[in-house]
């Protein structure tokens, strides 16, 4: 495997809380995929702070992933096309769907993600890897 790209993102949890409040909760529905949304609602039902921290880590992970694959938040990278879920051990992993999954498969890209949060901040780091050979470097033009 070769590194395709890396991405990192940090978000202030209070900004996510403010956007969530301002949108009446619609922000979570816009940003989270279906499995993430279920976890968000379950965590938020137990504790508002835990729900918002979860949303902040998932927002951060999507931003970091979009940087690692070099697209930013442009097609086929969309908020809901990428979900960050957890293994039973707690280890996070990403799952892509739709056109993003096809785009990644065509490039042999897989990714590793880590997320962390404290009271004020959530941070994510993504390493995107590819199993395809690297493209040949561009041939320099002669200056004749």
Q: How many helices (H) and strands (E) does the chain have?
A: 5, 5
* Residue positions forming the annotated binding site: 9, 63
Residue 49 has phi, psi (to 5 degrees) of -65, -40
**pTM of the shown model:** 0.89
**Domain 2-130 bears CATH identifier 3.90.470.20:** yes
For all residues of the chain together, what is the average pLDDT?
Answer: 93
The radius of gyration of the chain from alpha carbons, rounded to an integer in Å, stands at 17
Number of C-beta neighbours around residue 12 at 10 A: 12
Quote the longest CA-to-CA distance of the chain: 70
pLDDT tens-place string over residues 33-71: 999 999 999 999 999 999 999 999 999 999 999 999 999
Pick from 129, 86, 85: nearest CA to 111:
129
102, two tokens: 């096809």
* Residue positions forming the annotated binding site for Mg(2+): 9, 63
């Amino acid at each position: 495997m070769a590194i395709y790209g890396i991405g990192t993102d940090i978000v202030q949890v209070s900004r996510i809380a403010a956007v969530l409040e301002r949108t009446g909760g619609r922000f979570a529905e816009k940003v989270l995929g279906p499995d993430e949304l279920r976890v968000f609602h379950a965590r938020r039902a137990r504790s508002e702070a835990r729900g918002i921290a979860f949303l902040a880590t998932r927002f951060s992970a999507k931003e970091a992933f979009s940087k690692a694959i070099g697209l930013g938040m442009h097609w086929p990278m969309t908020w809901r096309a990428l979900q960050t879920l957890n293994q039973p051990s707690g280890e996070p992993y990403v799952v892509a769907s739709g056109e993003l999954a096809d785009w990644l498969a065509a490039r042999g890209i897989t990714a590793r993600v880590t997320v962390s949060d404290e009271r004020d901040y959530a941070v994510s780091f993504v390493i995107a890897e590819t199993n395809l050979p690297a493209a040949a470097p561009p041939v320099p033009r002669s200056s004749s």
